[in-house]
Structure 1
Amino acid sequence: MMRAWPCFNSSKALSLLVILAVQNWIHGNSSMEKEVTAALGVNISSMVPDILANFSSLESLRLSGCILQGEFPIGIFQLPNLKILNISENQDLKGYLPPFQLRSLLKSLILYETNFVGELPSSIGNLAYLEDLEFYSCNFTGQLPSSLGQIPSQTDAHSKVVKLELSSNKLQGSIPRTLSNLKNLQTLSFHSNNLSGVVDVNIFFQLKKLRTLMLSYNNLWLLTESNTNATIHNFTYLGLASCNLSEFPHFLQNQHELQFLDLSSNNIQGPIPSWLWNMSRNSLQYMNLSHNFLKGFDGGPVFLQWAHLIVLDIQSNMLQGSLLSVPTRSTNYFDGSISPAWRSKCNLRFINLSRNRLQGQLPRSLANCSMLEFIDFGENQLNDSFPSWLGNLPKLKVLILRSNGFYGALRKVGTGKFSKLQIIDLSQNTLTGYLPTTYFRVWNAMKIIDESHMTYMGENFQFPYSSYDNYDYSITMNNKGLELEYLKLPSTLAAIDFSCNRFEGAIPNAIGNLTALHLLNLSNNMLIGHIPSSLANMKELESLDLSSNQLSGQVPLQLSQLTYLSSFNVSWNNLSGPIPEGKQFDTFDRNSYKGTQDCVELFWRRNVEILKLFLQLPPPLQKMKTRDLSLKLIG
């Protein structure tokens, strides 16, 4: 029989319990005495009523993702029969942890993505039945209590703890060596805290069941030399970014089941060892070696052999020589056969080797990677013609080849259309010829973009390991006269940067078809002719840079219709005639027209006319209109 509800001071609290009662009844649970469960993601938008702390028979409370608010009743933690508490994914739910009693039956304590604060009590070591502790993405502070590794068990000699996730908090201090006592531990995640000190990796080798180890983004010094008699088991997820490593950990040579490896932001120097490319060939999905001091590839040309690799990031190193190669069905491998890992298909979605010193050509075998969404080989020393063959990749959204030695005409060859392309950066190369009218006509992803549901590129790929962030696609582009780093790419962003090349001829009218474009930079080329009025069709345009060309005629007055335009530069051209007025164009200063004498004179003449009209006003009105004048008399 369901408990009769007492009176409540809060109508919201009453509503919450009514909702829970109905849901439990629908699912055949006739009593809330032992279990309270809300469907994941149901919008309760309520405080958790204090009365729940009186349910002494309650064994399970699951309220994940219910938009709970206010302070969580601390008494619920101390219910004598409570075994499972899951209040995760409630960002507005506040609270702190109480002292835990030895008699507590808690097995699963899941608070991730809440606003819990305070320190972890040393009494957490009293939770003899604890198996699962998930506190990631909260606001816990203080040190890791050594009692975490001294949790007893009521049934055998070893702790029952299987999962320990405390990442993305504000924890400080060292990692206690007592963690080596947690013999049943499978997942250990402390990444993205302020932990410090020297950590001996052999602590973790003692945990024979450990498969996930995440220590990235702390202030740790990780010692990776394994004991000679240590038996090293296989990891599945290994995050050692920003751990002050100076070399590749040797124990990686014997890893055959890795799916995730992050060694980024360390001090690893020298060539990438040849054994690395044979590691976990049939399982690895994610490899990040970025932001180190790697200088090349040991043993000559490199062929990617990972059958399931999705993300490869080796940006911001000192790599020299030729690029990696991706074996295809028609590519002879070392012994004359086809690499068995690539007989079916390439699964790469993201490849970033930017900011290195790589030479030669792009590997033509990338055309076999039909899942690719993001390619960045910018800021290298590549010497190649424009890779029109990449246009056949059906999912490619971002192509960054800036600051290399790409040459020749940018013309469409074959059937490749770059049908999904939204961002292309070919700046600072030596490309020649006319702007690609044919491409402007078929780049459909730059014409219409659904802005009703804005997400970020890369969000659709989530790692199997839950508390590690999604891999955000990030780039550096020139925007509004500045080199800006986009740490996340909005799914709606569309941009073209062809600046600092040797393009010639007129700007084609067809470019106006790209109505979803946010950024267009054609500066520092040899373009001639008039600025096409079709640019006024780009209603989403925020930045337009046509400076340092040989353009003539007047700035189309229709451009005043671009209400989102916040950066405009046509300086150092041969323009003449009137300039647009009103809306955004009243905010651009003389630097937008610098070196274009006729436009500068018209710019000042307009300001003089504004000033004359202002001086004709009576003094009281002049005082009232001073602010309006300052907005118009810019420059």
Structure 2
Amino acid sequence: MNTTGIQSDYPEEQQTLISMLQRCSPYKMLNLRKNNLIFIQPELFEGFEDIKCLLLSHNSISQAFDGNQFTNLKNLRFLDLSYNRINLYFEGAFSELRSLEVLDKSNNNYHFMLNGMGHKLAFVAKLSSLRVLNLCFNSISARISQRVYSTSIKEFIFRDNRQDIMWPTEIYFKFFKNLNNLTRLDLSLNHLTCLPSKVIQKLPSTLKAMYFQKNELTSFPWETLKYLPFLDVLDLSNNYFVTLSKNMVPSSFIPVNATVRELTVSVNKISTIEKDFFHNATMLSSLNLSYNLMQRVEFADSLLRTLSVLDIRMNPLICTCDSIFFELVSRFNISIPFLTNQVPCPDLLKDKSIFSSGTLVCPDSHNVFLFSSSFLLTLLFVIIPMLKQFLG
């Protein structure tokens, strides 16, 4: 499907739209984006009963859905309601859409920001086919259902809300707990400054990927990973970490049974990492430490044997020929992205890479020994005959 003509002032919005169009591409679609719609009635869709994808984003719909708006669209699978003012007051909202798989209700923050108005997510439990729920950019903070129930949702996008206001209140500790089939949870841009252990413990144990990008975190309760036995991906990029240490948070360390394979802590302020911090991370294969403040890269050999990808670009590394960094590059079979142009060496080559010329500038110790030995032997063979002739 050609999406080159799609234009948006916001890259994230454009990407979301492209993703929805790609999901819809195999099916019959009705696109009513940017049509100044303010009210939805069943009659609007007469003659379109066979569509499976409906795009209603960027309208002015300010309405409390009660389960009667889409009665003519029994086979609808994908519904985009982003950039409207829809009110989630009635528990029967969307109940007529039994086949709905993807619901995008992002950027509908108008009613969520009104004082004294409650919002109900009980409708989610009635959508037995729903796989993806997008509620991002809604400023959700309070006066909403204490829990979300679903046995079908696999992906919950909750970016740019106010989880920092919800989670300090104990009634919302179990907000995600009853999403019994959830595998991907995005809590980026939620103004979070800390993650209470009790909250992580109450997340669905089925999670495979968690995203906490662009928050204000300085630490993570690593010990709680034991409650997430299937977690593969953990993204903590764009936060305020300054170190990765067992002493940063008392009794917080990566547990023996941690299953994380891909860890991202890029774009933080990390300057030091405790050498044995990853001692128990036996499943870790990809570690992204790019755009931090590290000068040294020192890990236990057990981790270096497990890693297949180590991203350390744009750190002020000390990478002289006798540094541990050089030993890491030469001894272990690890892919280091952008090594030739984005792993600078300020001390050795004035912010250029040690591989910038295409060949390693640091000599191999074995080659140095061979060169030195051959040079000395040659010198002896030349000098001894000359001395004999000179001394007679």
Asked if 1 retains the 8 angstrom alpha-carbon contact of 2:232 and 2:260, the reply is: yes
Q: Paired residue for 2:139, among 320, 342, 364?
A: 320
| Matches of 2:319 and 2:354, distance apart in 1 | 18
2:329 counterpart of 1:588? no
| Matches of 1:536 and 1:549, distance apart in 2 | 18
Determine the structure 1 residue equivalent to 2:324. Answer: 554
Displacement after TM superposition at 1:500 (Å): 0.7
TM-score by length of 1: 0.40
Q: Deviations over 1:116-153 (max 9, x none)?
A: xxxxxxxxxxxxxxxxxxxxx9xxxxxxxxxxxxxxxx
User: CA separation of 1:262/1:519 partners in 2, compared to 1, >3 Å: closer, same or farther?
Assistant: farther
Q: Deviations over 1:250-278 (max 9, x none)?
A: 776524877745125x542x4x4133654
Q: Name which one, 1 or 2, has greater alpha-carbon Rg.
A: 1
Displacement after TM superposition at 1:417 (Å): 3.6
Structure 1 vs Structure 2 CA RMSD: 5.1
Q: Structure 1 stretches of 5 or more lacking a match?
A: 1-136, 138-190, 194-211, 329-340, 447-493, 569-586, 611-635
Determine the structure 2 residue equivalent to 1:538. Answer: 306
User: CA separation of 1:310/1:369 partners in 2, compared to 1, >3 Å: closer, same or farther?
Assistant: same
Determine the structure 1 residue equivalent to 2:184. Answer: 374
| Matches of 1:357 and 1:433, distance apart in 2 | 26
**SS in structure 1 opposite 2:180?**
coil
The structure carrying a bigger strand percent of its residues is 1
Asked if 1 retains the 8 angstrom alpha-carbon contact of 2:226 and 2:258, the reply is: no
TM-score by length of 2: 0.60
Asked if 1 retains the 8 angstrom alpha-carbon contact of 2:139 and 2:161, the reply is: yes
Residue identity in the other structure for 1:399: M
Asked if 2 retains the 8 angstrom alpha-carbon contact of 1:236 and 1:260, the reply is: no
Residue identity in the other structure for 2:240: T
**SS in structure 2 opposite 1:215?**
strand
Determine the structure 2 residue equivalent to 1:428. Answer: 238
| Matches of 1:531 and 1:387, distance apart in 2 | 27
| Matches of 1:431 and 1:301, distance apart in 2 | 36
Residue identity in the other structure for 1:390: I
User: CA separation of 1:550/1:379 partners in 2, compared to 1, >3 Å: closer, same or farther?
Assistant: farther
**SS in structure 2 opposite 1:442?**
coil
Larger RCO: 1 or 2 (CA < 8 Å, sep 6+)? 2
Displacement after TM superposition at 1:322 (Å): 0.8
Residue identity in the other structure for 2:119: V
Q: Deviations over 1:376-433 (max 9, x none)?
A: 01123234425564356332111001111334453314x8442211111112333566
Asked if 2 retains the 8 angstrom alpha-carbon contact of 1:390 and 1:416, the reply is: no
2:209 counterpart of 1:398? yes
User: CA separation of 1:273/1:232 partners in 2, compared to 1, >3 Å: closer, same or farther?
Assistant: farther
2:168 counterpart of 1:351? no
Determine the structure 2 residue equivalent to 1:302. Answer: 119
User: CA separation of 1:509/1:528 partners in 2, compared to 1, >3 Å: closer, same or farther?
Assistant: same
User: CA separation of 1:433/1:558 partners in 2, compared to 1, >3 Å: closer, same or farther?
Assistant: closer
| Matches of 1:563 and 1:267, distance apart in 2 | 48
Q: Deviations over 1:166-222 (max 9, x none)?
A: xxxxxxxxxxxxxxxxxxxxxxxxx659xxxxxxxxxxxxxxxxxx98314x87848
Q: For residues 240-279 of structure 1, what are the structure 2 equivalents within 5 Å?
A: 240-241=54-55, 244-248=58-62, 254-255=68-69, 260=77, 262-264=79-81, 267-268=83-84, 270=85, 272-275=86-89, 278-279=92-93
Asked if 2 retains the 8 angstrom alpha-carbon contact of 1:424 and 1:495, the reply is: yes
Displacement after TM superposition at 1:530 (Å): 3.0
**SS in structure 2 opposite 1:351?**
strand
Determine the structure 1 residue equivalent to 2:278. Answer: 510
Q: Paired residue for 1:444, among 259, 271, 286?
A: 259
Q: How many residues align?
A: 319
User: CA separation of 1:597/1:246 partners in 2, compared to 1, >3 Å: closer, same or farther?
Assistant: same
Q: Structure 2 stretches of 5 or more lacking a match?
A: 2-23, 247-251, 365-392
